[in-house]
Amino acid sequence: MAEPATLTVVVGAQWGDEGKGKITDYFAGDSDYVVRFQGGNNAGHTVIVDGEVYKLHHIPSGVLYPHPISVIGNGVVVNPKGLIEEIESLRAKGVEPNLKVSDRAHAIMPYHIVMDECLTSHQGELAAGSTKRGIAPVYADKAYRHGIRLGDLLEPAIFEEKLQRAYKFNKEVVTQAFGGNFDLAFDDIYTDYLKYGETLQKYICDTQLELFEAYRDGKSFLFEGAQGVSLDLDHGLYPHTTSSNTVAGQMSVGTGIGLNGGRRVIGVAKAYVSRVGISPFPTEMNDDEADYLRERGQEYGTTTGRPRRVGYLDLIQLRQAVRVNGLTEIALTKIDILSGLDELTVCTAYDITGEEVREMPGSLGKMRQAKPLSVTLPGWDELTDSDVEQLCGGGYDNLPDTMKKYIAFIEEEVDCPITIISLGPQRHQTILR
Ligand code: GDP
Ligand code: IMO
Ligand code: MG
């Protein structure tokens, strides 16, 4: 009998951009498979190795090691042209991806991007401020059941049959419902996508079966979430969310691996909060504070370059992340960015029309009225680069006392251990407890 498989899931515990790429890369070297299970190229995951910066959008953040197999699971939506460019940009840096892509993953089509624009203007204040990558429309077409899957690109007759339906539907919605322009020619899409299929053919396979066999053989798996709990389609701040489920449970649906067996679920949380896009944001900082942290933390979207909105830590959000993901631990990132501040504000509850609320409400009306109830904790001194290097070599006990108190306060409030502390973007700037 093979040893039981080990399963570790890394998910965003806030609004995305928590540092999932960095934490995934940190653990990927010990994994046989590193797997994405939802989202698409709305994700932007940064990994820095030996000073080289990699920005990944579809490909899992384990790709920089030669050993693990990178898998794009069936729950992911793939822009084939974007994926080809991503593979080429890795090759240009000397990395040959060891990649498998699910034949069941849905393809983002050019008309999804047109639809994304139309939807965003139609939704006005209720829009989420999408990344314009076609994410809502591709998942909608999947649910309508006229989506195009990557496997379809390898079967020209089937592809043509399906594309006819999907093309007609999207064209009519854009022109009739939205009164928009639609200048995409059917033949161009058809021939371009068949070409993308040819290029990607060597990667496209039945990943569901491959993953099952590896699971049965006791291999180790690392699952990399995209986005974060507050962007989850069900559990997030709907409708200001993305269009996939971002929580750890989606790992089973988005890959086809069953739910039996123990697992480690790591929620990645920044030591403060950022948000790209539109939604209520109770702990958003005033402009001066936000400008300071945005510059220090380089809070600009990895995918769109948009400045991220910045706020202080929201423990209502993190408490929900612990609950709905079943987190076994938290990786706290970017704690270095808070260095040198006298005091740190942390939100422990919301005041909603006079009531103290400690758990995330599902109501948009309530979230629009939520005011943070906060405590302040003492900060720690500025850390120079050499302080950071020394701390990373020295382990948890050597961290400044006030930093350890900040960490202990969060653990106590959200009832989950913080076992990974990230003090910089590089692989080695990480402390395990
Ligand atoms: P993801 O989408 O969750 O993978 O996060 P992004 O890559 O979009 O954004 C996180 C940013 O913070 C990237 O630029 C990382 O290189 C950087 N980063 C990650 N962890 C740390 C950390 O502990 N300290 C600092 N200073 N930067 C970090
Ligand atoms: P990673 O994986 C931060 C946000 C968008 C918008 C909403 C819906 O890098 O953490 P979509 O294009 O998905 O329809 O946009 O979700 N969003 C993200 N914000 N990080 C991300 O990914 C995001 N992916 C989507 O800004 O508010
Ligand atoms: Mg990101």
Say whether 17 is catalytic: yes
Cβ–Cβ under 8 Å, residues 390 and 431: no
Instruction: State whether residue 20 is helix, strand or coil.
Output: helix
Residue to mutate (ligand 2; options 58, 131, 300; most atoms within 8 A of CB)? 131
Strands (E), 116-210: 204-205
Q: How confident is the model at residue 189 (pLDDT cuts 50, 70, 90)?
A: very high
| Protein residue with least CA distance to atom 6, ligand 1 | 17
Say what the pLDDT of residue 165 is: 96
Q: Which of 331, 335, 354, 330 is nearest to 346 (CA)?
A: 335
Rounded-to-integer distance, Cα 318 and Cα 236, Å: 12
Residue 89, class by beta-carbon neighbours within 10 Å (0-12 exposed, 13-18 middle, 19+ buried)? middle
Pairing of strands 204-205, 309-311: unpaired
Least reliable range by pLDDT among 36-45, 252-261, 301-310, 399-408: 252-261
Q: How confident is the model at residue 261 (pLDDT cuts 50, 70, 90)?
A: low
Q: How confident is the model at residue 262 (pLDDT cuts 50, 70, 90)?
A: confident
Q: Which amino acid is at 125?
A: E
Phi first, then psi, for residue 327 (nearest 5°) are: -60, 135
Mean pLDDT (the chain) is 95
Say what the pLDDT of residue 120 is: 93
Q: Ligand 2 centre and the CA of 101: distance in Å?
A: 22
Say what the pLDDT of residue 2 is: 64
Q: Ligand 1 centre and the CA of 299: distance in Å?
A: 9
Angstrom CA distances, 111 to 163, 175, 248, 336, stand at 11, 12, 30, 42
Q: For residue 189, what are the contacts with CB-CB under 8 A and spacing of at least 6?
A: 109, 110, 111, 163, 167
Rounded-to-integer distance, Cα 54 and Cα 61, Å: 9
Say whether 240 is catalytic: no
Tens-place pLDDT, residues 379-407: 999 999 999 999 999 999 999 999 999 99
Is 421's C-beta closer than 6 angstroms to any atom of ligand 2? no
Tens-place pLDDT, residues 321-364: 999 898 999 999 999 999 999 999 999 999 999 999 999 998 88
Instruction: Look at residue 282 and tell me whether its pLDDT is greater than 60.
Output: yes
Residue to mutate (ligand 1; options 227, 333, 423; most atoms within 8 A of CB)? 333
Pairing of strands 273-275, 106-107: unpaired
Tens-place pLDDT, residues 100-147: 999 999 999 999 999 999 999 999 999 999 999 999 999 999 999 999
Give this prediction's pTM: 0.92
Residue pointed to by tokens 């039945």: 206
Phi first, then psi, for residue 338 (nearest 5°) are: -85, -5
Q: How confident is the model at residue 260 (pLDDT cuts 50, 70, 90)?
A: low
Rounded-to-integer distance, Cα 301 and Cα 306, Å: 5
Pairing of strands 371-378, 106-107: unpaired
Rounded-to-integer distance, Cα 186 and Cα 118, Å: 20
Rounded-to-integer distance, Cα 280 and Cα 367, Å: 6
Is 129's C-beta closer than 6 angstroms to any atom of ligand 2? yes
